[in-house]
A and B are shown apart, each in its own frame.
Chain A
């Protein structure tokens, strides 16, 4: 538990983010944690010099709504969390389709914990054996359309 931390439900995330934005908060970053059977996601905000944290817990199969509509800078953070950890973030303003950092043929969800319940990294379907990581297949997803202005 961090100092100045509030626990919220997934459904309250966007409204809480909007409330903080109206108070003049800046989105610092978000941290995804693989807790075995669920993810914890901590959103870090700065209100002048103080940090404020919002924590939510979400089942691995459940989605987390994007806050990129409230804080435009969230789109990189959310793409990273989705790609490196496997958090299902929906509605990101620019979705890189799992190709922000990782390349085709590289590891999948490298920050996900192995052997602590839930889906092992590198496997596409829950319940698969502990075999080697499954490499991504198929063509590279389309590059996001640059005409969708970001950060405006």
Chain B
């Protein structure tokens, strides 16, 4: 047996947009164990949420993560609406789907670009982010901001999308489809990408379930679980089937995200076409009391908010579990047996978002 060596991977590494350290145990070049060290971007947001009035927490929760901004606000608004037993107008539910899916497209394109960058495929990286730029522009046009959308509110949404803007959104996304097709062609056929992703970082269906994987990490291992199937917001009226791949490797997780880009484009179009007329927000009164759990499907997977109200303006407790937090144990299952050179791409393949995970 070869002697073991422990080396730190991160917290700063070219493939990591955010800091995490993996302490890797190696036998020669083969990884035999890994332990994560996190805490570099912990901000105590759950505590901060207890200290502010529940209404102003929307802005705080949106800042848990820049990439997933809208879905954090949505999960928070849903949990408060659940405590207050508030009903959201139907039009607002459809607008929430539109904003959530625009966010998913931009997040998945960001991932695809980062993957290309990690593989040294700079032109593909730039193509992915060029397409993403158009989506971010759409977010700015519809919500008013490119990153922190601030369009979700307790009781509904803050901004409406009129017929002209809806038509422009659908037309722009239709124009993006051929560009995504070209990215898909490269991802599907490039020898280097396939060599570095297929068969690497395998996570079986059983392992995914045992370690609690969520989102594309889970669906890439053949588990057809997606919170959107529960029908929150307007998903129940739009019809939705999760995208699943079965290989369980880095490539399968990437293909799930690529296919979800198309699916999200379709969901935006259908939501805008089917969106009923009416108010975009209900007037909410009272103070939250009791306990409630809200779940949404963030781009990286299931995002869950638990809240406890005590009848005052402040919540007694707010708990946030982001998808990357759930996907760290599966990552530790993917790594043993891989070569050291594969660690960056496998780590990236769960699309880690440490800002979300650490709060």
Contacts and interface: CB of A to CB of B under 8 A. Distances in A.
Interface stretch (B64-72, B146-154, B209-217, B261-269): B209-217
Given A2-B292, A31-B319, A146-B6, A151 B38 contact: no
Interface in B279-302: 290-293, 295, 302
Interface string B223-255: 001010110000000000000000000000000
A111 B46 contact: yes
Contact of A149 (B46, B225, B328, B336): B336
Interface residues of A, number: 41
A73 B35 contact: no
Contacts of A102: 39, 42
Contacts of B330: 73, 151
B291 A1 contact: yes
Nearest to B318: A31
Contacts of B125: none
A143 B35 contact: yes
Contacts of A24: 209
B47 A29 contact: no
Interface stretch (A11-19, A41-49, A58-66): A41-49
A29 B326 contact: yes
Given A2-B291, A101-B358, A147 B326 contact: no
B333 interface: yes
A111 B306 CA distance: 15
A103 B328 contact: no
Contacts of B293: 2, 44, 51, 53
A122 to B, nearest CB: 13
A92 interface: no
A71 B225 contact: no
Contacts of A29: 304, 319, 321, 325-326
Contacts of B35: 94, 143-146, 148, 150
A73 B329 contact: yes
Contact of B44 (A21, A99, A110): A110
A76 B329 contact: yes
B304 to A, nearest CB: 6
Interface of B: 4, 6, 23-25, 32-39, 42, 44, 46-47, 207, 209-212, 225, 227, 229-230, 290-293, 295, 302, 304, 306, 308, 316-317, 319, 321, 325-326, 328-333, 336, 358
12 contacts: A1-B291, A49-B229, A73-B210, A73-B330, A94-B35, A143-B37, A147-B4, A150-B34, A150-B332, A151-B207, A151-B331, A152-B333
Interface of A: 1-2, 21, 24, 26-29, 31, 33, 42, 44, 46, 48-49, 51, 53, 71-73, 75-76, 84, 94, 99-103, 110-111, 143-152
